[in-house]
Structure 1
């Protein structure tokens, strides 16, 4: 079988099952007696094992099988859940994730898991749930052979007729019991191979469990069939044993008396049924089957939104095509305004409305919940808390909040650094918390929410907070700021110093954080996504790190401005307001031109000087100013004139122009001109 076409689906579904296992294991740790949780974990592991074996990833399938054995022992009350067992199962899940990630990267999914497998085997050998059933004595086998028909339900009238007619034509009836090995990975496949052999040598009359259950692997490791054939019992047994992963085959010839006894048992059962029951087959089994079917149907009907998997590359292509459409839309709007044709103007307006709706649909298709990133953190917090000997309660709020996929892909690592920072530097040890009158268990809240065209992600802890004096002294010591500058800084400005490159206030270097890296990476990554990070803290009470991110990165709203004869675009997300000032309103402070903006001193940046725009005309008495913001800092960008607001497509400058200062990209305007998009974060330092 060519499995390449299923590889992407296998990877996606494997990651979903592993995520489910992680979540359920955390829930099981809080409630070790809940067998419903264990069953959920077992089902996910079982499905993953089957998929892995089908795709040919034997190492992945074998490790899952070993983990499944432990889970099976737990759900059968042979093993009692404790933290040590959960640690081993968590470690197994980590190895499984590493294998799947290796496969996703083009690898073969192989990994040295001897250590974790040996631990799983130790757990299993300590209290093996199937140890009793494995040691079947010869007497039990003989007894089993002596009561062949007891393994099957009663024959119905059609089956009895077939058996009688077959016997009249010289066929023998056999009850064949096949037992698969406990390490059999593809039970459904083995059943198929056995049935293929049986159909070559005869005809299967009945099976227990039914064929549907066998195909869906809804049975343990043993099944029984009634076969009519002219072959001998020995030949049937030999042929079936040629199938791999079969432990034993028992073939017993059914005599006419055996069949008659079964018919008598059936009649006896029917006579003992209540009057309201079904005298033919018994109401209860049918009732169960009907209820099960109704339940399944109801479950299916409750899902109103049907979904399909779409390759993300297709969405990227769709987005790129739509970006071209946005450029042409702007061009048409420009032509329509120039020609001033009412019919053309009406058509372009309608096209703009429709394309706007299409834009919303495409953007929504690319939106995914931050839950995909948040889901990894409960496991991480659990492990870090144990490593640091701290008690941590992680609360996740707003995991359903959606972000563009491109932002989601980049936001994971910064959040890892911030959560590690909160656990290592923020939340105190239980002893310290007790001495401060706090509960031993610290709380870290991970929260996401929408606000306008932005998504905010906050990491809040109730730990020790940030010491202004400690941060400032370290910053002065390392030359980040001078003592004079530090004296005039607000608390928030001091707190933001911890995100300077190489800055660390750790008393000692740990495996978690404190190596002088981390928060500077957070800041750089967030700003590369056109976002920002702010910090608020109260000594002794805790800290809040707030990340502001745009909903999407590809299509943005900008203010178009003109500098001499060149056009530039300033993202609206950075703009506070625009203003026109007189030349005499410009002041000088510390060799910097500034203005008084609503009681605040705001430095002016002349873009024509920064971007070295050729001067075609002299300055007049008035200046056009765009007030932009980065966190608590503001600046006034001096331009020649405002053109207006517009939605534009952000295009990368390519690999050769990555070092262009304060330019994040470019866009094509309606008249075909190229406008550079200004990176306000780079301008404000």
Structure 2
């Protein structure tokens, strides 16, 4: 495909359309639950309209065709000529999938794949009113007018005795009581005699409509179309009648600005513009109605009409203020630039740490004040730069309504999705890293957790199950929760499956607690499904979840109650750019343990250790934890006897707690991860290196990789 358009224009379109398409997926699922939400209908219409406009500017015909047909469907829905149904939403969501596919191809500068002809035909069918054999009445904005027409037509069709005795004046008075309907002068149409017994003729009926709407205003145009350009002549005439003088060019331009926005013609507008436009239109309609009503009832004294110049100044000024260009407060920056800035801030943090270490050895007050000031400024700069990398968790949560909706439709389940804390911010790298694990967990809750509606009813539950996603910030961590009110998990059944698949032996299963049994679902190849489906059953989903979460120094906790539901809680650091660590000594070497994994620290007490199944363990609060000497793994070249003294650092790796014996504790320190040299790539258990506050080098440990390499049974 040739991309002759300017690259900057294309990039602007890709950024704008990407945001719109992400919103559309969630909005469409919400619309299916709230079909009467007019604001949501308009928002979806605008979304397809905007993407279509940008694609049309770049001559992306395939993308334009699909968006145009989808836009037409929502125009029909807005006009009330169709109702939102699950079948219609299936077609629209397929259309959105086709648009997303073409958008992905556009990002990769590939030839666009047009939507399937069958899909376009389905969209074309939904672009027409609900029944082709039925003439759908246009939606009228003002119900008062339609009531007048119905009342007048009913009066015209009544038998003679129903309205006998009404003369022309009484009939006119009855019409006046119906409402302040604009009426032409009596000479504009012949009088209609309704005292006879015969039906009125076509000419008399036309005259009646002229009296109700004004001559030539009843041609079937819905009241919602009063903003068409042809109507401006009637508005000018109304303003002329009100002021008894012709308006000048400035007044005419102001009037158009009230109707269409400053400097615009009749085009698609935003909600704020529509609000200003509707206020201006109502003001014009009132002014238009007053002089005509006074002419239609000559027996009443005409009220004095003041010049409308002053009343019109306020809406005109309001419209001008509303449409004045706002100052641009945003700048698009390449993420590579942000990463470079973050790296430089990381270097500054290292220098700050070095100065703080040196300052502790000097008693100079001026140096102390300067270093303290640098520490404060560096901390503020670090926080500000981190905010530029932050994105709301909604970037991930936004895809789940569609996931839940599709699975529920496929499996014939009824599932309600609740999302809390969508505005919680976290590092953009974490947003990307958590996307796949969270999708697996949500799909797992839909498939394994929520029961079929009939089973839920039999168990005394509502037919519709509930899945709840939560996100919150606690200190320097983000807590994510996935809860469901489904069937829950049976720990004994999980143990039995693990034994049958060779993941666990009988003795180990007997000693296992319920919470440890729940963690078996994260074992590679473990699945409770007997039958493999498109949703689950292969035993790889939860293993991917665990791997993805531990790769970002996160942990996952699971709890369940049989028959009541399951809760999973994920804990991840706020950012991956600067890592809080615990510095420890092993021999004479300094190592950094990610602080997010550290649960507890205490002095080594050999009286609390014992051997279980050939593994040294330490008992902490009546719970046996495997214990390892880090020197055995990290200092293999040094033959050293195990020390009776030291410190035990309890760390959480996934769902397993492990104790590490270290020779000394240095303290907590924020570090910047530096990649290892190419010669050291692949070294088990090493995440990178950093420069310490005393100018030395410390290796940062990858605890999950370390245990996987040297104690596989505890992964």
TM range (shorter): 0.7 to 0.9
1:340: how far off?
A: 5.3
Residue 429 (structure 1) aligned to one of 452, 460, 466: 452
Of 104, 108, 112, the match for 1:105: 108
Quote the residue 1:673 is aligned against: 696
Describe the SS at the equivalent of 1:117. Answer: helix
Contact 1:564-1:615 within 8 A present in 2 as well = no
Structure 1 residue 500: deviation in Å? 0.9
Aligned to 1:320: 343
**8 Å CA contact 2:81, 2:136 repeated in 1:** no
Q: Structure 1: how far apart are the matches of 2:95 and 2:677?
A: 42
What SS is found at the alignment partner of 2:704? helix
| Deviation of 1:13 (Å) | 1.6
CA distance in 2, matches of 1:208, 1:96: 40
Structure 1 alignment gaps of length 5 or more: 134-139, 164-204, 221-264
Q: CA deviation at 1:295?
A: 5.7
1:555 aligns with: 578
Q: Which residue number in structure 2 is paired with residue 495 of structure 1?
A: 518
CA distance in 1, matches of 2:231, 2:561: 77
Q: Deviations over 1:160-218 (max 9, x none)?
A: 9999xxxxxxxxxxxxxxxxxxxxxxxxxxxxxxxxxxxxxxxxx99996797696463
Partner residue of 2:53 out of 50, 54, 74: 50
Which residue number in structure 2 is paired with residue 380 of structure 1? 403
SS at match of 1:25: helix
- Distance change >3 Å, CA 469–CA 590, structure 1 → 2: closer
Partner of 2:32: 29
Q: Assess, with a 3 A threshold, how the Cα gap between structure 1 residues 407 and 599 changes in structure 2: closer, same or farther.
A: same
- In structure 2, the residue matched to 1:649 is 672
Q: Identify unmatched segments of 5+ residues in structure 2.
A: 139-215, 220-229, 269-287, 296-301, 708-713
Paired residues for 1:392-403 under 5 Å: 392-403=415-426
CA distance in 2, matches of 1:497, 1:521: 14
Give the 3 Å change call, closer, same or farther, for CA 275–31 of structure 1 in structure 2.
farther
Say whether 1:389 aligns with 2:416: no
Which residue number corresponds to residue 559 of structure 2? 536
What RMSD in Å do the two structures reach over aligned CA positions? 3.8
Compute the displacement of 1:671 (Å): 3.6
| SS of the residue 1:503 aligns to | coil
Deviates more, 1:211-220 or 1:346-355: 211-220
Cα deviation code 1:346-386 (max 9, x no counterpart): 32222112101111111222121111110111111111101
In the alignment, what sits opposite 2:543? 520
Q: Identify the match of residue 448 of structure 1 among 471, 474, 493.
A: 471
Tell me if structure 2 keeps the 8 A contact 1:213–1:219: no
Tell me if structure 2 keeps the 8 A contact 1:102–1:109: yes
CA contact (8 A) 1:271 1:279 kept: no
1: distance between equivalents of 2:690 and 2:121? 59
Deviation string, structure 1 residues 576-606 (Cα, Å, up to 9, x no partner):
3323335666543433333343443333211
**Residue number among 407, 410, 431 corresponding to 2:430 in the alignment:** 407
More strand by share: 1
Task: Kindly provide the CA deviation profile for residues 480-525 of structure 1, in whole angstroms up to 9, marking residues without a partner as x.
Answer: 0001111110111111111111111113111111122201100111
SS of the residue 2:24 aligns to: helix
Partner residue in 2 for 1:478? 501
Cα distance, 1:672–1:64 mapped onto 2, change above 3 Å: same
Distance, in Å, in 1 between the alignment partners of 2:58 and 2:307 is 45
* Map of 1:18 onto structure 2: 21
Determine the structure 2 residue equivalent to 1:572: 595
Q: TM-score, normalised by structure 1?
A: 0.76
* Equivalent residues of 1:209, 1:219 under 8 A apart: no
Task: Encode CA deviations 1:392-417: one digit per residue, 9 max, x unaligned.
Answer: 01111111111111100111111111
d(CA) in 2 for partners of 1:546 and 1:450?
13
State how far apart, in whole Å, the 2-side matches of 1:215 and 1:382 are: 43
d(CA) in 2 for partners of 1:435 and 1:624?
A: 55
Residues 449 and 565 in structure 2, CA contact (< 8 A), matched pair in contact too: yes
Separation in 2, partners of 1:328, 1:122:
67
Rounded Cα–Cα distance in structure 1 between residues aligned with 2:461 and 2:376: 56
- Output aligned runs, 1:173-322, within 5 Å: 216=264, 218-219=266-267, 275=304, 277-278=306-307, 288-293=315-320, 306-322=329-345
Contact 2:555/2:655, CA 8 A, preserved across alignment: no
Q: TM-score, normalised by structure 2?
A: 0.73
The DSSP-based 3-state class of the residue aligned with 1:622 is coil
In 2: Cα distance, 1:132 partner to 1:596 partner: 79
Q: For the structure 1 residues 514 and 351, does the alpha-carbon distance in structure 2 shift closer, same or farther, using more than 3 Å as the test?
A: same
What SS class does the counterpart of residue 624 from structure 2 fall into?
strand
Q: What is the CA deviation profile of residues 605-639 of structure 1, one whole-angstrom value per residue up to 9, with x for unaligned ones?
A: 11111113443876554223222233663322122
Q: Is the 8 A contact 2:262 2:319 kept in 1?
A: no
